[in-house]
Structure 1
């Protein structure tokens, strides 16, 4: 995988500690995952223009389909694997200051790989998108209705543009026009 190193100013005024747990085989080395996550979260923070905030912490868990399927069933009553789950530590409204713990983001390797392949995207790009998506959930954003979904997708597009990652929704918009 090709990774861009964080610029020296990436984390200036961004006091978020990222704890990483790699639970299953098949993932990249933890240091590579940390670089990717650092870039994605810093880009989201900068895009949201959050500025200086009190120190916060989040956990990223890199797991497999079996584990995320169990979590999805236990917490969302959906007996199937998914790509990413977010577990906010506290209910947070978009734009409000986070507390000392943001929460957990759990990502399933097989689903991410399958989706990236099916959609013709580099694995790193799709993984970065899912980290951004999960991080926005921890910050109070959601997509339960069309208005929320448009806002969240718009933010995701801006963050990913900052990371030089193509719009992940562009292809689905084109496909929808021809269905």
Structure 2
């Protein structure tokens, strides 16, 4: 089955920051999908948007009234439907990358991989789950030549979505 990665760029700040944004997002999402052969569904939609839009989504669907870096919305299991949707907030992601001293491109690929893993059922609520998810993220990102996002204490923001 062929899986699609549909990327919607709602905030042009993403492409102004890096003309390769769409390709970076596609490669990160595809790397996660390629590592999972038993996926049911046709694909995912990734929305690159602004902080206000992500805050509105976070408020509506999670009852948390703040912008966060990435939100994942898994679809109900359906071999004929989408796996789910992901939304990323430019301002939060750019600020985190700057605070962590890493290129926005690397942080973006990490958060896309993180979001896709959530769509596939991975979580980080417990320590064991977090360790397993982070190990998989490291492996996927290494294949994209992205350094370990968890290598230093500064690499994880205080934001609960950052882990």
**With structure 1 as the length reference, what TM-score do the two structures score?**
0.77
Matched with 1:17 is: 4
Give CA deviations for 1:21-71 in whole Å, capped at 9, x if unaligned. Answer: 11123111798333112211222233x3x3476661210101111111111
What CA distance in whole angstroms lies between the structure 2 residues aligned with 1:112 and 1:146? Answer: 24
State the number of aligned residues: 155
| Separation of aligned partners in 2, 1:108 and 1:59 | 15
Distance 1:99 1:116 in 2: 36
* Alpha-carbon distance change, 24 to 38 in structure 1, aligned in 2, over 3 angstroms: closer
Q: Runs ≥4 in structure 1, deviation > 6 angstroms?
A: none
Gaps of 5+ in 2: 157-163
**Which residue of 1 is the match for residue 161 of structure 2?**
none
**Residue 66 in 1 paired to residue 52 in 2?**
yes
Structure 2 residue 18 is the aligned partner of structure 1 residue 33: no
Aligned residue in 2 for 1:160: 141
CA RMSD, aligned part only?
Answer: 2.6
CA contact (8 A) 2:100 2:154 kept: no
SS in 2 for 1:87: strand
3-state DSSP of counterpart to 2:5: strand
- Residue 144 (structure 1) aligned with residue 132 (structure 2): no
Structure whose alpha-carbon radius of gyration is higher: 1
Structure 1: runs of 5+ lacking an equivalent: 1-13, 93-97
User: Does the residue aligned with 1:101 lie in a helix, a strand or coil?
Assistant: coil
2:40–2:83 contact (8 Å) kept in structure 1: no
What is the alpha-carbon distance in structure 2 between the residues aligned to residue 53 and residue 78 of structure 1?
30
Query: Does the CA contact (< 8 Å) of 2:21 and 2:105 recur in 1?
Result: no
Is contact 1:57-1:102 (8 Å) kept?
yes
Q: Could you tell me whether the CA contact under 8 Å between 1:18 and 1:57 is conserved in 2?
A: yes
Q: Deviations over 1:57-105 (max 9, x none)?
A: 210101111111111111112111100000001259xxxxx65311100
